[in-house]
Amino acid sequence: MPIRNDWTIEEIADLYRTPLLTLVSRASAVHAAMHTYEEIQCCTLLSIKTGGCPEDCSYCPQAARYDTGLGAEKLMDADLVIDAARNARDAGATRFCMGAAWREVRDNSDFDRVLEMVRGVGGLGLEVCCTLGMLTAAQAERLADAGLHAYNHNLDTSRSFYEKVISTREYDDRLATIDNVRKAGITVCSGGIIGMGESEMDRIAFLHTLATLRPHPESVPINALVPVPGTPLGEQPPIDPFELVRMIACARILMPEARVRLSAGRLSLSNEAQALAFLAGANSIFTGERLLTTPNPSENADEGLLRTLGVKPMPPHGVEFSITEPIAGER
């Protein structure tokens, strides 16, 4: 299957406007050729530093300027984070992602502690991922040296809609961090959010930016906005689940090798809608009862869903895995 980085905006607009069942069926064929329906990556998130963020991202409950009932906490102890990662692994997760409500990483003792967490979590045989805000090239290299496998930094939406959602940083800042991550040899996890009031053209332009990155991100999280009261987007109406399926199908066709993650918003999807998203090419989810600060489906619900669909957790990158391994939450 050829991997293209030269998609035109017109091609992506045509793709996005394809009748849904035709689109899902094309995406599914790409998925079957490049991946398997029988494995889904299970990632668990932990907020290692919650709230008090100086940025003004309109969707985010952790921005200090919005009253969402979240206080500003300090960075967690490394030992507690590593314990949480062990629990996540024992519950079936194969990737552990640590999130901090920072605008950017600073070269201080907190960063040293994050590096200790990366080493500790990596030592458990998990794929280790961080999302800490903007990074310099030197900081990305230090994370790579500590064994960081992936860095999450979302483009979130189109360049033109971005400034309606966030005013405290620019789209090019995001692209520069992604470039620093890539150059340090860390895999890139970058996607976005739908349901923020963006137009169809914004979604098309957002997919175009992602699909013309060279190389494509290894992981593409597609989040449905979790509207949090107190944020400017707290009253946004929920999206139609078929729109999420459409985004996932497009991402699968445009970036055949990527892991496409059905990310935030699963609590408002039926099992049937999630199954359609998997058929359309999603092969990664967040497991565990909390995303960063908002709820996620219970372990029991996910265990039931994966069992019904005959899906097993994808083994972590570069770690031996037995096919008799129980599915998430089964032990």
Angle at 307 between CA 301 and CA 313, to 5 degrees: 95
Is 57 among the residues known to form the active site?
A: yes
**Element spanning 29, H or E:** helix 20-34
Instruction: Write out the binding residues for ligand DTB, residues 4-63 only, by CB under 6 A.
Output: 45, 61
Q: Could you report how far apart the first and last alpha carbons of the chain are, in Å? A: 38
Which residue in the list 42, 43, 130, 189 is annotated as catalytic?
189
Which residue in the list 26, 42, 43, 53 is annotated as catalytic?
53
Q: Near ligand SAM by CB under 6 A, which window of 31-39, 66-74, 85-93, 96-104? A: 96-104
User: Measured at CB, which residue is nearest to ligand SAM?
Assistant: 154
Instruction: Write out the binding residues for ligand SAM, residues 41-80 only, by CB under 6 A.
Output: 59-60, 62
Instruction: Write out the binding residues for ligand SAM, residues 278-317 only, by CB under 6 A.
Output: 292
The answer to whether 12 touches 208, Cβ cutoff 8 Å, is: yes
Binding of ligand DTB at residue 195 (CB under 6 A)? Answer: no
Q: Report which of 322, 287, 309, 277 is spatially closest to residue 95, judged by C-alpha positions.
A: 287
Nearer to ligand SF4, 264 or 276 (CB): 264
Instruction: Write out the binding residues for ligand DTB, residues 217-256 only, by CB under 6 A.
Output: 221, 223, 226
Q: Near ligand DTB by CB under 6 A, which window of 163-171, 179-187, 241-249, 292-300? A: 292-300
Q: How far is the CB of 251 from ligand SAM (least distance, A)?
A: 15
**Residue 289 region by backbone torsions, left for phi larger than 0, else alpha for psi between -120 and 50, else beta:** alpha
Q: How far is the CB of 56 from ligand SF4 (least distance, A)?
A: 7
Nearer to ligand SF4, 101 or 251 (CB): 101
**Which residues in the chain belong to E strands, given as ranges?**
39-49, 95-100, 127-131, 150-152, 187-189, 192-194, 219-224, 259-262, 284-287, 312-313
- The one-letter amino acid at 262: L
Instruction: Write out the binding residues for ligand SAM, residues 207-266 only, by CB under 6 A.
Output: 223, 225-226, 228, 264
CA 270 to chain centre: 20
Nearer to ligand SAM, 250 or 311 (CB): 250
- The one-letter amino acid at 276: L
Q: How far apart are CA 44 and CA 27, in angstroms?
A: 26
225 binds, among ligand SF4, ligand DTB, ligand SAM, none (CB under 5 to 8 A by kind): ligand SAM
3-state secondary structure of 287: strand
Two tokens, residue 231: 């944020």
Catalytic site residues?
53, 57, 60, 97, 129, 189, 261
